[in-house]
């Protein structure tokens, strides 16, 4: 079942992708009905990055990073590499050389349910990675995997071309075909939050803004 590289992958519109990046993971996740989050343990190697891009997916054997070389050829400007090992692994599949190559192809970052290394260099290069681990342990190039096939990465089903949004709060996947609609909802959400933010900053209470007092009382909340 492995040993496949799918070349023709539909991506979402660049403006949609960039719009989702600007909204960030928490907002996008809410906007699509609280679905699509990767597991909580996926953490960025440095704080502050907020990106979105189209997924080039990789299914790789544990401890074997050969398919990353294959995947890099499939990258288009604005893509994100997304790697899931076929068995749990924390080895460092990816380092500064691969990042140099991926950046040269327009790649925006890496999401990997395994380890990454050379993180000092990656930080200096500004290449963001969300991973399960940071670990100097190297990998081999001995067994085939697949590129641009459906994968499950850190608990989320991801299809090639799906939009990946990632920031300090984690990583979220949006189906390519619903991305525009999710962006719309996310923007409405953001607008709505903006007005709330200024009222809250002025000292108004959420209890009043969201009109919660009646419902809380009805449910039996009592003040002592």
Does 196 engage in binding with a copy of itself (CB under 8 A)? yes
Residue 200 is classified by DSSP as: H
Cα separations (Å) of 46 from 9, 17, 127, 140? 30, 22, 9, 26
**Nearest approach, Cβ of residue 219 and a copy of itself (Å):** 6
With respect to a copy of itself, which residue has the nearer C-beta, 126 or 155? Answer: 155
Question: Considering only residues 13, 69, 76, 177, which one is a binding residue for a copy of itself as defined by CB under 8 A?
Answer: 69
Residue numbers 24-63 binding a copy of itself by CB under 8 A: 24-26, 29-30, 32-35, 37, 39-40, 43, 46-48, 50, 61-63
The DSSP bridge partners found for residue 58 are 83, 147
The encoded tokens of residue 189 equal 């959400």
Tell me which DSSP letter residue 105 carries.
T
Can you tell me which of 22, 70, 180, 187 binds a copy of itself, judged by CB under 8 A?
70
Q: Which of 16, 23, 90, 110 binds a copy of itself (CB under 8 A)?
A: 90
Residue 157 corresponds to which tokens in the numbers above?
């089903």
Tokens encoding 55: 């997924």
Inter-residue contact 110 to 36 (CB < 8 Å): no
* Pick from 24, 19, 78: nearest CA to 48: 24
| Sites for a copy of itself among residues 104-133 (CB under 8 A) | 104-105, 115, 117-120, 123, 133
Task: Report the residue from 12, 54, 60, 66 that binds a copy of itself according to the rule CB under 8 A.
Answer: 66
């Amino acid at each position: 079942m492995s040993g496949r590289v799918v070349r023709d992958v539909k991506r979402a519109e660049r403006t949609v992708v960039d719009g989702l990046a600007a909204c960030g993971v928490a907002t996008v996740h809410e906007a699509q009905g609280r679905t699509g989050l990767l597991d909580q343990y996926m953490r960025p190697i440095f704080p502050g990055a907020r990106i979105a891009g189209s997924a080039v997916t990789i299914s790789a054997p544990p401890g074997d990073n050969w398919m990353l070389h294959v995947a890099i050829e499939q990258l288009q400007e604005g893509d994100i590499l997304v790697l899931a090992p076929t068995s749990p692994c924390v080895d460092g599949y990816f380092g500064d050389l691969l990042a140099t190559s991926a950046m040269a192809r327009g790649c925006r970052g890496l999401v990997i349910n395994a380890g990454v290394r050379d993180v000092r260099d990656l930080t200096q290069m500004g290449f963001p990675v969300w991973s399960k681990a940071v670990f100097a342990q190297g990998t081999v190039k001995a067994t085939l995997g697949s590129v641009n096939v459906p994968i499950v990465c850190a608990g989320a089903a991801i299809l090639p071309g799906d939009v990946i949004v990632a920031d300090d709060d984690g990583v979220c996947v949006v189906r390519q075909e619903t991305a525009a609609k999710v962006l719309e909802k996310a923007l409405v959400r953001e607008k709505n939050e903006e007005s709330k933010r200024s009222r809250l900053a002025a000292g108004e209470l959420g209890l009043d803004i969201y009109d919660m007092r009646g419902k809380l009382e009805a449910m039996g909340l009592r003040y002592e």
